[in-house]
Structure 1
Amino acid sequence: MAIYHCSTKTVNRSSGRTAVASSAYRAGEKLEDERTGLTHDFTRKDGVAHSEILSNLDIEIDRGELWNLAEKTENRKDARTAREWVIALPDELDADQRKDLAKEFATALVDRYGVIADLAIHEPSKGGNDKNHHAHIMLTTRKAELDPDNKLILTTKADIELSNTKRKSLDMSTTQEEIKAIRTKWADLANHALEKAGHSEKIDHRSYADQNNGLQATIHEGTKVTQLRRQGINTEISRFNDNVTQHNAKHLNQQQQQKESVLQRGLNRVDQGFEQWQKNQESKRLELERQAEIQRQQKLEHQQAERANRKASQDLDQGGMSL
């Protein structure tokens, strides 16, 4: 059964994350962070089925140059340097169909906000049966343009990054409503792809309470039953329908939790792997600094010893000459 998942989060310096490191990890590439001086090498990472940069600009965009530019454009210590969308790709589709669907959604985001998208499609874990095909789509938080020399520049903040106060002054909906619209867009695109591929399965961005689609059919309540309900009088039909509603709500809730748990486990492995890599990188950096300090001290001690030896030799030579 197709799983609905469409969530968004941001890459913030305040949380210790960088857009360069995040992109390298999701795309399984080796990127150098010019701002921090660190090199992030994830070329041995498994499970990256496809990665691609998408934009409306008629130039070829290098992944490393893009995210280093995103980092350089922001001056604040707590700056937001990227926004990420994570979507679950229907297992009912084949690899090419999933790629086309992910690209279509990423392109829709590019068109909507005038930004650049960095798409990475991940496969389910090896040996697993969770079928959690999913995609990470990193967006620049600023609009992308070309300067007079046809070079890439990032300009003003994208609409979705504006505060609700600013959005209200521009007669825009709230950020929450904007995100809801994107989630609806994803459901529409995914359902169209499923239908085009000949599948009857559908996903729905709404909560199950909003969908009101019971797993067990209820009995039609005629005018008399409805009138009695309004008077607070239960009938055999109304009691049956109430029980069905409760049963379906419980079943759907358990089903949704199970599906989300499967997907979340896969996504958690991505985040945990990245966090562990960051810890390892920090340990390596501290060890390199310690070794460099030891070498510096040894070199300093060696230089001091050489100066002492030269001075002692000079003193002996001067003493011999005075005799």
Structure 2
Amino acid sequence: MNPKARSYDYTKKTDVVHSEILLPKNLSEQLDESDIELDFQRIADLVEIGETTKRGKMKSSARLAREWVLCGVPELTRAENIELFEQFAQQQSEEQGVLSMVFVHDPTAGDDMATTKAAAEGKSMAAPDPRNIHAHILLLTRKLDVSSDSLLSLGEKSDSELSNDERTRPVVPKKLVGTIDPETGKKIQQGRGLCSNSEWLKNTRKQWADILNERLEQKGIQPVTHKSYKDLGLTFKPTKHLGKNASIAERMGVQTEIGKYNESVNRYNHNQLEQTANSGITSSQQQIARSQRWIDAISTGDAYIQRQIEQETQQEKHVNSRIGQGVRRRAERQRPNPYEQQLKTSADNRKQRATELRERTIIFDRASERADRNARYRKPRINGVIGEVDRLTMKTALLFSSRRNESSSYTDRQKDILEQFANENSLVTGDFREDIRVTTTFFSDADNAQTHKHIVKLINDPEREEQNHSKTSKFEAESDLNKSTRDYVDNESKTSNTADLSVSIAPRRYRRP
């Protein structure tokens, strides 16, 4: 079939803990009706046949499948991670209308092949990271067709495999396809009317992040984001993927070029984090106060309208009371025809109340529209400010949790203060990620941030805190010196007075004549 095809033996790979074939709903129904069962070998043979020419050669431009590598969450169980992997794969199968395959790797299961091989050769190698549970999701690039005689074959390409031009080209009526476009002078081709490839990729990343965050929120774990550093407004640099060979070399203690590059990027990102935190966190309290004022202003909008209504109601009662008093006075002064006067007064009152009611309605409508406009105008700003405050709070937690690192700029005295503060407030859990989560929750409380604002200042600007501490220590030392000097002078003065007194009261000696 394909003489240049190569075979790989993965039977000794024991860290594959789960494998599954997932089908879109319509394809699954067709296979059930045709009584067709699929396995991995049959799928591989079918794909290879479909991408092989009549001469028995594999197409040079053939793409057999599209692979997604998903990173699991070590805080979740293996079963929970597998469930999330399959949820993403099933979602992609339904959207693209293609078959998908899920392969889950867990380094805590079985024996690592590289470690076993190194041990057999008498070499030492570090164990793989036990947190590296991940999945390889393979989606076929073509849809499967089931013929009337129950035969399977590869059909048209899925939407993900179309060119950017084919995806974004608008959908036109069939009668226009092939005609000449009068504006461009080219033949009109049918399109799909879809988003661009880059937007589709971002949306797919967001789908996986949404699936993860829904479960992480239930577990009380910090959410993840699909956005890049640039989209988040961060100046961080991404690291490079080590790959199989470089990863094995690093585990054997051999530093690779990619490893060196990643270390430099990590140092750069750490410095950027400290600079951003030092420049932005110092004004976080002011930003929180401003955002709170915005929130209070919006929340009190309805209260303002309610007060307006109450004031207008009270004014209406007061006017009705005054009108009633005036009617009674006029009735007492003029009694020619009380029924006619009463009827006239009642009609006038109704007209006046109707006019006042219309005016109050207009005032209320204007106030409501103004409050709605203000709320719509201020909501994006408030959300932006709140998001900025959350980001700054997260950076404060990262700096606080990294206080023990040798690269931190804290002095020994400051580290002792922060360590004592962490112990007093139960911010030490023994796990770095858990420390970040607990610290973020602690500083997200406005009361805690206000009560311990001196700690917040120390975390974000240790150099200034050290300068203030030095100035305070110097001032206290000078104060103690001045006090000692005054005490010494006072004692000298007292001694001198005593000496004079002793001289003045000493008995005189008689001189010889």
Unaligned runs of 5+ in 1: 1-32, 224-240, 256-323
Higher-RCO chain (CA-CA 8 Å, sequence separation at least 6) = 1
Whether 1:220 aligns to 2:197 is no
Q: Which residue of 2 aligns with 1:176?
A: 198
- Separation in 2 of the partners of 1:163 and 1:37? 28
Residue 107 of structure 1 pairs with residue 90 of structure 2: yes
Matched, 1:140 2:117: no
Counterpart of 2:48 in 1: which secondary structure?
helix
Please name the residue that 1:41 is paired with. 9
1:34 to 1:99, Cα distance in 2 relative to 1, 3 A: farther
Kindly provide the CA deviation profile for residues 208-233 of structure 1, in whole angstroms up to 9, marking residues without a partner as x.
4534698785233459xxxxxxxxxx
Measure how far apart 1:180 and its partner are: 0.6
- Structure 2 distance, partners of 1:152, 1:92, is 41
Aligned partners of 1:130 and 1:99: how far apart in 2? 16
CA–CA distance in structure 1, aligned partners of residues 41 and 128 of structure 2: 32
Give, in whole Å, the separation in 1 of the partners of 2:144 and 2:83: 23
Work out which of the two has the higher radius of gyration on C-alpha atoms and give 1 or 2. 2
The alpha carbon displacement at 1:141 in A equals: 0.4
Say which SS state the counterpart of residue 165 (structure 2) adopts: helix
Matched with 1:207 is 228
Q: 1:83 and 1:41, CA in 2 relative to 1: closer, same or farther beyond 3 A? A: same
- Match of residue 63 from structure 1: 40
Cα deviations across residues 238-291 of structure 1 (Å, max 9, x unaligned)? xxx9xx97x959x79xx9xxxxxxxxxxxxxxxxxxxxxxxxxxxxxxxxxxxx
| 2:163 paired with 1:186 | no
Deviations 1:80-135 (A, max 9, x none): 11110000011111111111111000001100101111110011265333511100
Kindly state the Cα deviation for residue 187 of structure 1 after the two structures are TM-superposed: 0.3
Size of the aligned set, in residue pairs, is 199
Give the number of the structure whose residues are more often helix, by fraction.
Answer: 2
Gaps of 5+ in 2: 32-36, 54-58, 113-126, 170-191, 235-275, 292-387, 403-513
Aligned-partner Cα distance in 1 for 2:5–2:129: 39
Indicate whether 1:54 and 2:76 are aligned.
no
* Equivalent position amino acid for 2:45 in 1: N
SS, match of residue 69 in structure 1: helix
Name the aligned partner's letter for residue 86 of structure 2. Answer: K
Distance 1:147 1:199, change over 3 A: farther
- Give the aligned partner of residue 366 of structure 2: none
Q: Are the aligned partners of 1:145 and 1:155 in contact in 2 as well (CA < 8 Å)?
A: yes
Task: Report SS of the residue matched to 1:39.
Answer: coil
CA distance in 2, matches of 1:158, 1:182: 15
In the alignment, the residues of structure 2 paired with residue 35 and residue 109 of structure 1 have an alpha-carbon distance, to the nearest angstrom, of: 33
SS at match of 1:105: helix
Normalised by the length of structure 2, the TM-score is 0.35
Partner amino acid, structure 2, of 1:175: N
CA distance in 2: counterparts of 1:35 and 1:94, whole angstroms? 43
Percent of aligned positions that are identical: 32
1:131 corresponds to which letter in structure 2?
A: R
Counterparts of 1:1-323 in structure 2, within 5 Å, are: 36=4, 38-56=6-24, 57-58=27-28, 59=31, 60-74=37-51, 75=53, 76-124=59-107, 126=112, 127-169=127-169, 170-196=192-218, 198-211=219-232, 217=281, 218-221=284-287, 248=395
Q: 1:168 to 1:91 in 2, by over 3 A?
A: same
Alpha-carbon distance in 1 for matches of 2:94, 2:17: 24
The residue identity in structure 1 corresponding to 2:102 is: L
Equivalent pair of 1:114/1:158 in contact (CA under 8 Å): yes
Contact 1:114/1:143 (8 A) holds in 2: yes
Residue 61 and residue 79 in structure 1: after superposition, are their counterparts in 2 closer, same or farther (change >3 A)?
Answer: same
CA distance in 1, matches of 2:72, 2:145: 30
Q: How many angstroms apart in 2 are the aligned matches of 1:149 and 1:106?
A: 29
Measure how far apart 1:195 and its partner are.
Answer: 2.7
- The structure with the greater share of residues assigned to strand is 1
1:37 to partner: Cα distance: 5.4
- The C-alpha deviation readout for 1:136-188, integer Å capped at 9, x for no partner, is 01111001232212333220000010000111222211111111110000000
Q: Secondary structure at the match of 1:156?
A: strand
SS in structure 1 at match of 2:285: coil
- Provide the rounded CA distance (Å) in 1 between the counterparts of 2:66 and 2:159: 12
- Normalising by the residue count of structure 1, what TM-score does the alignment of the two structures yield? 0.55
Letter in 2 for 1:108: Q
